[in-house]
Chain A
């Protein structure tokens, strides 16, 4: 009935599906797993604090196309923007936002306006601080570079799906002495972000920060489920290594069935 050589994949698929379904159901019923306080959130607080202390602006860019595989990274960018906007509303920091695509503008405007209204400082909210340059890669990058040179920000945060343009404005941020934080799941851009920023959220860490802030039951549930799956994989590896060291290739054969 089942195709040979694919049993181990099927077992993993069924096991992980049940774990994911069970944890998401529990988290939707209010018993969500607890995500620990991430160093990333402390780093963001420190960067916003620096902008308030020095009385200089904070530039925030969010990246990622909304109707393809990059969507989750863009959504995390919006969630973290909401958190930052609440902080800048409280501390009166001049928040400048550079959205990567035109489709981001309405979403970003709503997020910041609601944050400022929630903090009761709606008068501080200035729509013209949302600066859109272009959808094309290099025109956007030069736009952000111009903004950094003009505004001389104390802090610079960039969260989302970045490509080659990331390095262009990261270098400008370092040159102008901005303390910056970067976050992306595109592994090929992470080296630049690590080399040019004071803290980097990479891969799942970015999504975890998003879930920690948004408290969305499905995202938090997924992270809880993937954690359990990681513990299973780690214990399988350790068990396998011990068995192989003792010369028993039992687990190898089991997994290649």
Chain B
């Protein structure tokens, strides 16, 4: 008995991977379905969110001020009317003002003050290894901070300091490179764990082979289709 849900899931997964072999109608179906479903889903969640956060407080008579926020929310949509699109700047200004203020007030302690005091480490620690590490940390923090200064005079010494800073940052990007491989391979493993799972394995082989054949003979199929429907360009 064919499990239609697994069949559809395997089909769309392989449609995306068909992009690796050849750009084809399979890929375009997958891409457009993804965009359509994503926006359809977001709409429902947005409506649900508006009801929970704005409509219910008003309908239960809790707080009539919320009507103001709904009006501001609707003002966003004036951006689609050319003549009045400037009105949408008011609600955008509210969002940007809150967002900037909320991030700014705590970023000072979280990303500046606390990071400075965390770098107060002794250069004569208990073990030789720790002392070496602490010296490296202090030098590397100071040089990578100094690397991003642009108005000082371009002297020999400042050039040397900036080079150390740039090399530190390169080692930092190496670590990011290492862990980015982790994220990308994780997503790949997640997909193939599903494709090789007992339920999906047979669909993988059947749909996979059919799709490979269709892609291999893509050019021939297109000539065939071209003959019949000149307007439909696949």
Contacts and interface: CB of A to CB of B under 8 A. Distances in A.
Contacts of A192: 177
A244 B82 CA distance: 62
B42 interface: no
Nearest to A242: B123
A213 B138 CA distance: 33
B112 interface: yes
A255 B112 CA distance: 11
Given A9-B108, A230-B145, A191 B123 contact: no
List of 10 A-B pairs having minimum Cβ-Cβ separation, nearest first: A191-B177, A240-B120, A208-B150, A9-B108, A33-B151, A9-B109, A255-B117, A204-B148, A36-B154, A227-B149
B145 A35 contact: no
Interface of A: 6, 8-9, 12-13, 33-38, 136, 138-139, 142, 187-188, 190-192, 194-195, 202-205, 208, 212, 223-224, 226-227, 230-231, 233-234, 236-238, 240-241, 243-245, 249, 251-252, 255-256
B113 A9 contact: yes
Contact of A191 (B117, B122, B141, B176): B176
12 contacts: A9-B108, A12-B112, A35-B150, A136-B31, A187-B176, A190-B173, A191-B173, A195-B177, A202-B169, A204-B150, A227-B152, A231-B149
Interface string B38-55: 000000000000000000
Contact of A241 (B106, B138, B148, B176): B138
Contacts of A252: 117, 120
Contacts, number: 110
A249 B109 CA distance: 19
B98 to A, nearest CB: 14
Contact of A251 (B109, B120, B149): B120
Contacts of B116: 233, 236-237, 240, 255
Given A237-B142, A243-B120, 10 more contacts: A8-B113, A38-B150, A191-B173, A191-B177, A191-B180, A202-B169, A203-B148, A233-B145, A238-B138, A241-B119
